[in-house]
Structure 1
Amino acid sequence: MNNTFTDSRIRPELQTGLEKIHFDKPTEVQERVIPALLSRVNVVVQAATGSGKTHAYLVPVFNDIDETKNYVQAIITAPSRELADQLYQVAKQLRKASGLDISIGHLAGGTDRERQLAKMANKKPQLVIATPGRLLDFVEKKVFAVDSVKDFIIDEADMTLDMGFLADIDKVAAKLPKDVLFAAFSATIPVKLANFLRKYMAHPDEIIIDNPAVIAPTIKNDLLDIGSKDRKNVLYKLLTLGQPYLALVFANTKQKVDELVNFLQDQGLKVAKIHGGITERERKRTLRQVEQGQFQYVVASDLAARGLDIDGVSLVINYEVPRDLEFVIHRIGRTGRNGLPGHAITLIREEEMKRIQELENMGVHFDFVELKHGELVPRKHYRSRENRQGKNRKLDTKLVGYVKKEKRIRKPGYKKKIKRAIQEDNRQKRKLEQRHEIRKAKRLRKRKREQGR
């Protein structure tokens, strides 16, 4: 089979650049997406983070850009500042390795707008990597034209939807040329996103690389029923059981993140927090400190943490199950990356078991565990309890009592007594059902007589 990176349609400089950064063998997403985009076929790609999708679109985009023409020829959108910055760094690396003279504009909200405007005035970029809000702002203010854009890439499309940025993307996309090449990359394709993409892509190639709902085999994915125990105390015990290289705790709200950080700090742990309520300066400083190994524990909210590529996460704890169950998949996927072992623990109570069943139906497998003598030990799956209870579910409370007693008391004739009691109970229920049917039939006949008058 031919190596996608040596496709004759890819410029020799790019092929050399890929070699320099040790891209010798393409991943599955690169193998399937690069030829499609080189053939100018619109694509919707469902692929998990870490699958190599960034270079799957960067290579064709770089290949399309004419360095002699000083206007915007390609746009890549990312839903968060961190993601846009990551893409910018990866693009610069490929540009340097390839020796290409491509001008790349980096537009992100939360950064100096005037400085970005000055850069644009000085030199128009040929490739723009931007967050949706800042991109729309510059397009509407006519800082640069988009009528000659050849490639439009939406990265992390499901996160773009989650964060409410699809409307911004829509307004920009509406201004693009009719023959623009569209590509969307997403870990999941919710219905709202599929409907939006259909507006701009009539018959795209749908490329599904893997099922993101299936947790990587390198991750031990545990489910811990905390029962009546205090959730915060259980969290503290889990964080101090061993010595995780880096533990990432997820909570659903900014308030809960703050509450957990305060609690864990009171217990003597050095904890970092990441949520939408902290300033951009704090956020950058915290991430830098985490990367430098100054924190062993990080508590984060979903939207703040999605798109953050934090290396070395050895433990993920879902302190609570999120409202959007797909977030569980994104959370767990923060550990066990690049083939390294990872551990995820989801804390639940009995009343949340239905939500766990929904996750299992999505393809997420859990190992059921309990905290015993300072260790996580296996226990029977919660469904095994349902199966046992299922045998007695239709019995009256007093009959359930009989059955429970039967396990302990072994007096002669006791089994017959239970059997007779159950038979009598069933007889009474049949009588009630028959009476109900007779009354129902009478009411129906009466109604028909009244209608016939």
Structure 2
Amino acid sequence: MNNIFKSNRIKPKIQNGLSNINFTEPTKVQEKVIPVLLEHKNIVVQAVTGSGKTHAFLIPILNEIDESLGYTQAVLTAPSRELADQLYQVARQLRDAAGLNISIAHIAGGTDRERQLKKIDSKRPQIVIATPGRLYDFVEKKILFLDYVRNFVIDEADMTLDMGFLNDIDFIVQRLPQNTTIVAFSATIPVKLTNFLRKYMSKPEQIVIDNPAVIAPTIKNDLIDIGAKSRKKILYQLLTMGQPYLALVFANTKQKVDELTTYLQQEGLRVAKIHGGITERERKRTIRDVEAGKYQYVVASDLAARGLDIAGVSLVVNYEIPRDLEFVVHRIGRTGRNGLSGHAVTLIREEELKRITGLEKSGIHFDFVEIKNGELVARKHHNRRESLNFAAHKVDSRIKGYVKKVKHKRKPGYKKKIKQAIKEDKIQKSKIEQRHKIRKAKAQRKKRRDK
């Protein structure tokens, strides 16, 4: 296949710019997306972070900008300030490397609105990179005009949906010219997102990029079944036994982030927290302090941390499995970057094993480990416990504890107590099973009578 970077449809300046930033071979997503965008076709692209998707849409968009026209020709949205800023920096890098005279504006919520206004008033941007809320604000108040926009990109569309920004995007898309090319990039394509995109994109090109290496091969990805142990205490052991360069702990809610931060601080660790409830000023200060090495541990929520690119994360801990399993990939992907080794540990209880099986089916491999003598050691992979043949008379976890202890020497009468507890447990379960059979038989007889 011919290298799309060297296509005669790509301006020589951009080809030189790609060479200047050492982009010589396109990734799979770039190979598939760039030619379609050059044809001005609407596309829905499913591709994970790290696949090269940003340049897949930036290259053809920069290629299409008419430098002589002083109005907005392309709009790119990202759901968080951090993601929008990353996109802005990457766009500027390619523009400068190619020597293009293109004005790019970055407008995002949580930053100085008046300063952004002055920049737009002084020079109308040819490309706008924005968060949905601030973009809505500027368009609704007629600060920014979309009359000549040729390309509109929704980056991280699934996250845009999760964060409740689809109404803002809906407002924007309704005001775009009819011939605008619309592109959506997303790690997953939920049904609600599909229905939304169909509203504005008639038979778009569907491009799905398979990513066989869901987790980078440089990452050791471990799983700890904590059983009846304290999840917080296991977390503290993990964070202190190996002294990671920088550890990132993920929790599902702001409340849990606050709770864990307080706990770890009380245990004497210097811990920073990042979640949607902290102010933008505090957030920026925290990130600067983390990058300066003032913190060794960071506790974060998913939506707050996605898009952050903190260098040097050597350990990621999933304190709990996220409701959306897709976030597991984003969490683990915070470590092991740029070819460096990384380590991820997920804490679970046995009832969560089915969710782990679902992740393994998607291509994520876990190694079962346990903490022994202050270090992680491999343990037998007990994916299922059917082999223990508890199907007929399943024993409570409380009773299992007794069973395990039966081998140890105890005070007189201890074994008798265990046997009696097991016996009573079986009797109780037998009674429950018998009641269930009686009720089932009654229901069947009633059903026959009703016929």
Aligned amino acid, residue 300 of structure 2: A
Query: Between Structure 1 and Structure 2, how many residues are aligned?
Result: 420
- Superimposed CA distance per residue, residues 195-222 of structure 1 (whole angstroms, 9 cap, x where no aligned partner): 2122222222222222489333332221
Correspondence 1:18-417 to 2 at 5 A: 18-211=18-211, 214-384=214-384, 386-389=385-388, 391-395=389-393
Residue 382 of structure 1: SS of its match in structure 2?
coil
CA distance in 1, matches of 2:43, 2:14: 22
Distance 1:212 1:269, change over 3 A: farther
CA distance in 2, matches of 1:368, 1:38: 47
CA distance in 1, matches of 2:439, 2:90: 76
CA distance in 2, matches of 1:70, 1:441: 78
- Superimposed CA distance per residue, residues 23-72 of structure 1 (whole angstroms, 9 cap, x where no aligned partner): 11212221221111112122211222122211111111111111111111
Where do 5+ consecutive residues of structure 2 fail to align? 408-432
1:186 shift after superposition: 1.4
More off after superposition, 362-371 vs 75-84: 362-371
Correspondence 1:403-442 to 2 at 5 A: none
CA distance in 1, matches of 2:194, 2:219: 30
1:444 shift after superposition: 6.0
CA distance in 2, matches of 1:337, 1:92: 23
- Superimposed CA distance per residue, residues 419-442 of structure 1 (whole angstroms, 9 cap, x where no aligned partner): xxxxxxxxxx99x989987x7786
CA distance in 2, matches of 1:155, 1:447: 58
CA distance in 1, matches of 2:115, 2:445: 83
Distance 1:443 1:3, change over 3 A: closer
- Paired residues of 2:353 and 2:383 also in contact (CA < 8 A): no
Residue 323 of structure 2: SS of its match in structure 1?
coil
Distance 1:441 1:340, change over 3 A: closer
- Paired residues of 1:271 and 1:299 also in contact (CA < 8 A): yes
CA distance in 2, matches of 1:170, 1:161: 11
Distance 1:232 1:5, change over 3 A: same
Higher radius of gyration, 1 or 2: 1
- Paired residues of 1:50 and 1:337 also in contact (CA < 8 A): no
Aligned amino acid, residue 139 of structure 1: V
Distance 1:34 1:392, change over 3 A: same
Structure 2 counterpart of 1:426: none
CA distance in 2, matches of 1:440, 1:262: 53
Residue 61 of structure 1: SS of its match in structure 2?
helix
- Paired residues of 1:214 and 1:365 also in contact (CA < 8 A): no
CA distance in 2, matches of 1:118, 1:143: 10
CA distance in 1, matches of 2:439, 2:288: 74
Residue 66 of structure 1: SS of its match in structure 2?
coil
Distance 1:443 1:10, change over 3 A: closer
Residue 152 of structure 1: SS of its match in structure 2?
strand
Structure 2 counterpart of 1:422: none
TM-score (norm 2): 0.86
Distance 1:42 1:374, change over 3 A: same
- Paired residues of 1:47 and 1:212 also in contact (CA < 8 A): no
CA distance in 2, matches of 1:247, 1:396: 39
TM-score (norm 1): 0.86
CA distance in 2, matches of 1:435, 1:173: 58
Aligned amino acid, residue 330 of structure 1: H
Residue 111 of structure 2: SS of its match in structure 1?
coil
- Superimposed CA distance per residue, residues 294-315 of structure 1 (whole angstroms, 9 cap, x where no aligned partner): 3221111111101112222221
Percentage identity across aligned positions? 67
Where do 5+ consecutive residues of structure 1 fail to align? 409-428, 449-453
Aligned amino acid, residue 266 of structure 2: D
More off after superposition, 209-218 vs 52-61: 209-218
Distance 1:326 1:261, change over 3 A: same
Aligned amino acid, residue 325 of structure 1: L
CA distance in 2, matches of 1:105, 1:435: 69
1:4 shift after superposition: 1.3
